[in-house]
Amino acid sequence: MLIERGATKGLTIWEDAEAMIAKARRDDVPIIWDRLNAQRPACSFCKTGLTCKKCVMGPCRIKADGKRNRGVCGADADLTVARNFGRFVAAGSASHSDHGRDLLETLAAIGEGKTTDYAIRDEAKLARICEEVGIATAGLDVRAQAAALADKLHTDFGTRGKGLSFLARVPKARRELWEKLGITPRGIDREVVEMMHRTHMGVDSDAVSLCLHAARTALSDGWGGSMIATELSDIIFGTPTPRQATVNLGVLKADQVNILVHGHSPIVSEMIVAAAKDEELLAKAKAAGAAGINLAGLCCTGNEVLMRKGIPMAGNHLMTELAIITGAADCMVVDYQCIMPSLVRVASCYQTRFVSTSDKAHFTGATHVEFNYANAKEQAKKVVALAIEAFTKRDPHKVEIPGTPVGMLTGFSNEAILGALGGTPAPLLDAIKSGAVRGAAAIVGCNNPRLKHDYCHVNLAKELIKRDVLVLITGCATVAMGKAGLLVPEAADLAGPGLSGVCKALGIPPVLHVGSCVDNSRIIQLCAVLANALGVDISALPVAASAPEWYSEKAAAIGLYAVASGVATHLGIPPHITGSEAVTKLALSGLEDVVGAHFWVEPDPFKAAQLMDARISQKRLALGLSK
Amino acid sequence: MLIERGATKGLTIWEDAEAMIAKARRDDVPIIWDRLNAQRPACSFCKTGLTCKKCVMGPCRIKADGKRNRGVCGADADLTVARNFGRFVAAGSASHSDHGRDLLETLAAIGEGKTTDYAIRDEAKLARICEEVGIATAGLDVRAQAAALADKLHTDFGTRGKGLSFLARVPKARRELWEKLGITPRGIDREVVEMMHRTHMGVDSDAVSLCLHAARTALSDGWGGSMIATELSDIIFGTPTPRQATVNLGVLKADQVNILVHGHSPIVSEMIVAAAKDEELLAKAKAAGAAGINLAGLCCTGNEVLMRKGIPMAGNHLMTELAIITGAADCMVVDYQCIMPSLVRVASCYQTRFVSTSDKAHFTGATHVEFNYANAKEQAKKVVALAIEAFTKRDPHKVEIPGTPVGMLTGFSNEAILGALGGTPAPLLDAIKSGAVRGAAAIVGCNNPRLKHDYCHVNLAKELIKRDVLVLITGCATVAMGKAGLLVPEAADLAGPGLSGVCKALGIPPVLHVGSCVDNSRIIQLCAVLANALGVDISALPVAASAPEWYSEKAAAIGLYAVASGVATHLGIPPHITGSEAVTKLALSGLEDVVGAHFWVEPDPFKAAQLMDARISQKRLALGLSK
């Protein structure tokens, strides 16, 4: 649901958020909705993708039907939009992939014996992935396997053009289609760099050509950078298994030192989790008057430690400022991505110590504690000590912790899902064939203040499960579904009779939490497993995806790799492409003929559910199944 | 000299250009100055770097002192400008580096025996570079050397973090400074990808941190991608040696089939040069009524075949449309970069066949003839045949070729310069020490319709040589200097007495053409050679650089790697950074304390010459030399 310009009410569906928005007003702390109102109306050229500032002959603003119908270089509306969109997707792919690289470098450090702070927690998965990518593990110890796998995956980031290791997972028909279209990703970094090259003035000057390369760039994320990030996170920190946890701002504790972990990578947060259990630090916290040290997650770093450790979740994107406004957050420790620069200012209004940890993500005004392989455990202890110190400065009169934590079940990695099914997808396929489970949908991604907070997430999920569609979620959707009570087995009662029965038989919720936003790679991998088992292309499956409240370039990359992999994808609002009829048409329908899937744009979750449902019906009929 | 808004006269200093601008008006063909006027006034937010469209919470426009002082995410003016500038530089670096990759893949194809169309033309340089980067050539034949070098340089594009092969060329003091600042480039693609990651919402949120990474990204271009492009172009196509050529639109011939090569890479254009000599095609041209097949260059592809083959130059960036407007261009064959999308439309007003050749640079409406290792010779013949066919459709009444070709001397690779000096830089250093040559300046880069065409180039060069400053030029500056008669030995008479004497003794012009825009790597390498010979850092040398009429993201990357390498650099107009006082101050002075060099922004070439001259005097005094 779109938020009207100037609106100061009805911004969220949650009481905990409403309470903190009200407290922000009382505390006179500007928050994201205030900045959105100040920025409205937005520039219509920028919003529709029609500005170009890629050289100093300009900047230019294109108006398809006016005297400004071409930029100084001669680019028209289609080209301008396509170039901008290309960079938008490239930035998203780059982000996931550079995150994957960090995991890869950690794996290499383990292999080379350069770290004792990090180790291999899932040796069986390490061996399995080694064998999958062609490394014979016989005679190799764990460290040697780690080193060999790091070597192999490093070539995926390189440029020798031999293709990505995990492309073998893709159904043959899909790989052949990509080959035919010339969009098989060659190297993870290469596609991003080539997109930056193509979008320089006077390089790729055809909108369709740029859009195809945008698809290739996105695929290098989905089947490359993101997939590497997921698989290596599992190997290093453990493959998630189902576990209980809790969610909403109520997970903060008035009598404890509260540390929020925020960002996207498990590399720092796992160390914070360990340091928070340190006896010496616990004693220090008690000496400071705290009953203990309480950790809570935000965004995808939160998802990472939720999936593997059951650390409670304080909130999603639009809750990150509000978590500080409770007055109970003694430290926010961040790695990178989706960390609003405003958080430093919000933190400065309270005792909250804002700590950055990565050289690639400094925040003006923050305390920087750089983490690396060799010092991570020690640095994590320093951060916890800073949090304890901040706790001593907390003003109890400023503390208000709204809400009561809601329970949820998390940890549904593909290994966990297939494990629960007895090691094969056959029972799931049988349920799909019988119509008990009519299909599956992914609901992923962000919040966006232009949309009523979590309204689309929750309503879309409810509508889909009602229609016997199994829902898989990642990222910020997690918190929404958790708070709505959809991540517990009892939520099966909200599902249609078929799905409800399956969930009850297995003791699982109708909405499964599969991870962080890089973990959308788990979902496309699962699609590939199902398609391969059925002997069809991914585009033939009764599945769909949605990023109903997306905001980021990463989400655009995810959406595009989903579509390019054959999964039709819903977006709550469009990217900045509507200034080009050609690019918009390609996205909304034309891609169907090219890659067998396309985008929908629809802010209303009820209508979106109908679109996704119709798609699933259509795919079921095409497979010879009931509607 | 800045062009006033709405101006239709005084756009260029050249008669050939004036004549074709007038003909464009008569032929009713819109050209770049028309589009510039239509785009003026430009958006002040975009122009100063204060717009952000990197997510769909926005777009945002920041005004440092208004209610819009922060974006929806909380980014202020400094951060917004720094993020935009980071991407600007990343795109420039990506372009050069992706161009370098193409040469590298060609080298690999030669090594692997996958091509007979391309071969090693400078075997001595191949062996020399192999030895330089640690490959023992004993017992390796040419193909094996090519393969080994390709393997080695491919790792520079990868991500293992062992540093770039050519960094050993950098003076030790400079390398230590980079290490201290954390800006030593690790991998060519990596820095671009990391910049795209850092500039995603919620990653690097500190303007200084972003600017430092921009420097690292630019250095990965200068000492990485560009340097690889240069060195491999020499190895594959021959290292340039001094040779005669001609320049301006008068190089087109009314009675011949005229083919213009445009873009940046020698990979396609070298094949076109060969095909234009093909007996069968020459016969075909004669049968079609042409006296022959005439090739002429534009922009940097022009520079590549000018340096190595003496192919005449028709023009620089602002001449590319005008070359078609002569009515005598039968074919324009392009590879990539700086090829205005408008050219397809301009070509369609005449018989000109517009042919694109690279998968990464399609042009809507163009004829696409894809070149690869295996088919290049054949494809080149096809292109020449298309040109002959177009010639038959030429309308003689539409033909007007202005100007008389001006002679020039080209081909001053570092090997040629050092060769002329007897193999060592000592004679040049002696001339500098004596004050005969007070210093050296590079004048590089583009044209920009916001600046009077070539006015700054020519006047800046004249002012500098008058002051006994040796000038090295690349890119679009080449055509300007050539047309102005500065690239002949006789131009020594325009130089000060010291420089004049040295030029006359050596028989060289006071302005030396060293190549295309990737060949700015030759200039920084020469700086390193001189600094190493003197045992000082590059920043201690009496040198400066200028991109007086720059327009492109590549030029920004070049400027930044020059400054980060220690060479103070002049720009005719600023990049889109002036919305941030912090970033602007850093560029214009603050960088001096960080990397020992900074930018000047000055549209007046006479004032720019004074600034560069003062810098050279200051550096001379610091070295204990006369002013």
Q: What is the pLDDT of residues A343-362, one digit of tens each?
A: 999 999 999 999 999 999 99
User: What size, in residues, is chain A?
Assistant: 627
A554: Cα separation from own chain's centroid: 8
- Residue A415, beta-bridge partner list: none
Nearest-by-Cβ selection for B54 from A73, A159, A553: A553
Tokens of B74: 């909380």
Cα gap B218→B562, rounded to integer Å: 9
Cα A265 from chain centroid (whole Å) = 11
Residue spans of alpha helices (H) in A158-315: 172-181, 188-198, 207-220, 226-237, 266-275, 279-287, 299-309
What whole-number distance in Å separates Cα of residue A63 and Cα of residue A516?
Answer: 39
| Distance to chain A for B205, nearest Cα, Å | 5
B214: nearest CA partner in chain A: A360
Contact A59 B46 (CB under 8 A): yes
- Confirm or reject contact between A161 and chain B (CB < 8 A): yes
The residue among B70, B180, B193 with the most chain A CBs within 10 A of its CB, best to mutate, is: B193
Q: Tell me: the pLDDT tens digits for B224-269?
A: 999 999 999 999 999 999 999 999 999 999 999 999 999 999 999 9
Measured between its terminal Cα atoms, the distance across chain B in Å is 29
Q: In this complex, which of B95, B198, B201 lies closest to A552 when CB atoms are compared? A: B201
Q: Chain B residues with CB inside 8 Å of A33's CB? A: none
A39 contact residues in B (CB cutoff 8 A): 58, 60-61, 68, 71-72
DSSP state of A4: P
Q: Is B339 on the interface with A (CB under 8 A)?
A: yes
Dihedral sign, Cα of residue B556, residue B558, residue B561, residue B564:
negative
Output the pLDDT for position B161: 58
Structure-token pair, residue A450: 């232009």
CB A471 within 8 A of CB A440: yes
> Cβ A57–B449 below 8 Å, yes or no?
yes
Record the tokens describing residue B366, joined without a space. Answer: 């163009």
CA distance B519 to chain A (A): 18
CA atoms within 13 A on the CB side of B67: 8
Q: Is B553 on the interface with A (CB under 8 A)?
A: yes
Chain B: nearest CA to A129, how far in angstroms? 21
CB contact under 8 A, A51 and B43: yes
The reply to whether A59 touches chain B by the CB within 8 Å rule is yes
What is the chain B residue with the closest CA to A339? B202
Angle between helices A520-534 and A226-237 (to 10 degrees): 100
CA atoms of A460 and A447, how far apart (whole Å): 14
Residues 101-120 of A with CB under 8 A from B: 101, 104-105
Mutate to test the interface with B, among A29, A39, A151, A262 (most CBs of B within 10 A): A39
Predicted pLDDT at A601? 98
CA nearest A560: which of A198, A215, A210? A215
pLDDT at A161: 58
Distance CA B560, CA B221 (A): 10
B60 touches chain A (CB under 8 A): yes
Q: Which two tokens stand for residue A239?
A: 């493959």
Amino acid identity of B231?
E
Name which of A42, A72, A189 is nearest B39 (Cβ-Cβ).
Answer: A72
| Separation in Å, CA of A392 to nearest CA in chain B | 28
Do the chains contact at A54 and B88, CB–CB below 8 Å? yes
Residue A22 phi, psi (nearest 5) = -65, -40
Examine the predicted complex and report whether its ipTM is higher than 0.90. Answer: yes
Name residues of chain B where pLDDT drops below 70: 161
Helical segments of B221-293, H only: 226-237, 266-275, 279-287
3 state SS of B174: helix
* Percent of chain B predicted with pLDDT > 90: 97
Q: Smallest Cβ distance to B74: which of A49, A159, A340?
A: A340
Q: Give the H or E element holding residue A378.
A: helix A376-392
Beta-carbon contacts of residue A309 (< 8 Å; ≥ 6 apart): A270, A273
- In this complex, is the C-beta atom of A548 within 8 Å of any C-beta atom belonging to chain B? no
B354 interface with A at CB cutoff 8 Å: no
- B378: closest CA of chain A, how far (Å): 22
Residues of A in contact with B87 (CB under 8 A): 87, 91
A231 close to A129: Cβ distance less than 8 angstroms: yes
CB A195 within 8 A of CB A553: no
> How close does chain B come to A100, measured CA to CA in Å?
12
Q: Are A161 and A16 in contact (CB under 8 A)?
A: no
The contacts of residue A562 (CB under 8 Å, 6+ apart) are A222, A442, A520, A524, A545, A569, A597
- CB contact under 8 Å between A154 and B161, yes or no, is no
Q: Is B452 on the interface with A (CB under 8 A)?
A: no
Q: Which residues of B touch A603 (CB under 8 A)?
A: none
Of chain A, the end-to-end C-alpha distance in Å amounts to 29
A55 touches chain B (CB under 8 A): yes
What residues in B contact A201, CB-CB < 8 Å?
337-338, 340, 551-553
Min Cα–Cα distance to chain B from A280, Å = 32
Neighbours of A504 (CB within 10 A): 15
> Could you report the per-residue pLDDT of A153-196, keeping only the tens digit for each?
999 998 775 789 999 999 999 999 999 999 999 999 999 999 99
Task: Please provide the DSSP assignment of B107-158 as one string.
Answer: HHHHHTT--SS---S-HHHHHHHHHHTT---TT--HHHHHHHHHHHHHHHHS
Is any Cβ of chain A less than 8 angstroms from the Cβ of B599? Answer: no
Residues of A whose CB is below 8 A from B587: none
* CB contact A557 to B (< 8 Å): no
| Chain B partners within 8 Å of A362 (Cβ) | 204-206, 208-209
Instruction: Provide the 3-class DSSP secondary structure of residue B285.
Output: helix
Listing DSSP states for A68-132 in one string gives TSS-TT---HHHHHHHHHHHHHHHHHHHHHHHHHHHHHHHHHHHTT--SS---S-HHHHHHHHHH
Residues 6 or more apart in contact with residue B469 via CB below 8 angstroms: B437, B438, B439, B440, B441, B499, B612, B613, B616
Q: What chain A residue is nearest to B550 in terms of C-alpha separation?
A: A56
Query: Which amino acid belongs to residue B532?
Result: N
Q: What is the β-pairing status of strands B243-247 and B406-410?
A: antiparallel
Listed residue (A324, A299, A301) closest to A476, CA to CA: A299
Amino acid in position B75: A
For B328, the token pair is 């005598």
Q: How far is CA A391 from CA A284, A287, A330, in A?
A: 11, 11, 5
A599–B contact, CB cutoff 8 A = no
Write the CA distances from A138 to A131, A148, A600, B55, B267, integer angstroms. Answer: 10, 12, 48, 47, 46
A462 CB near a chain B CB, below 8 Å?
Answer: no
Nearest residue, CB atoms, A71 vs list B39, B161, B339: B39
Best mutation site among B76, B197, B301, B576 for testing chain A: the one with the most A CBs within 10 Å?
B197
Statement: residue A66 has pLDDT above 90: no
When CB atoms are compared, the residue of A42, A57, A361 closest to B58 is A42
User: Of the candidates A233, A260, A230, A229, which has an alpha carbon nearest to the alpha carbon of residue A334?
Assistant: A260
Mean pLDDT value across residues A583-609: 98
Q: Which residues contact B151 (CB under 8 A, 6 or more apart)?
A: B108
Q: Which residue in B320, B341, B322, B333 sits closest to B390, CA to CA?
A: B333
Residues B229, B518: contact at Cβ < 8 Å? yes
Q: How far is A619 from chain B (nearest CA, A)?
A: 31
B91 to A360: CB separation less than 8 angstroms, yes or no? no
A79 reaches B (C-beta below 8 A):
yes
In this prediction the pTM is 0.98
Provide the mean pLDDT of chain A. Answer: 97
Query: Which H or E run includes B601?
Result: strand B599-601
pLDDT value of residue B509: 97
Which residues of chain A neighbour B61 with C-beta distances below 8 Å? 39, 42-43, 46
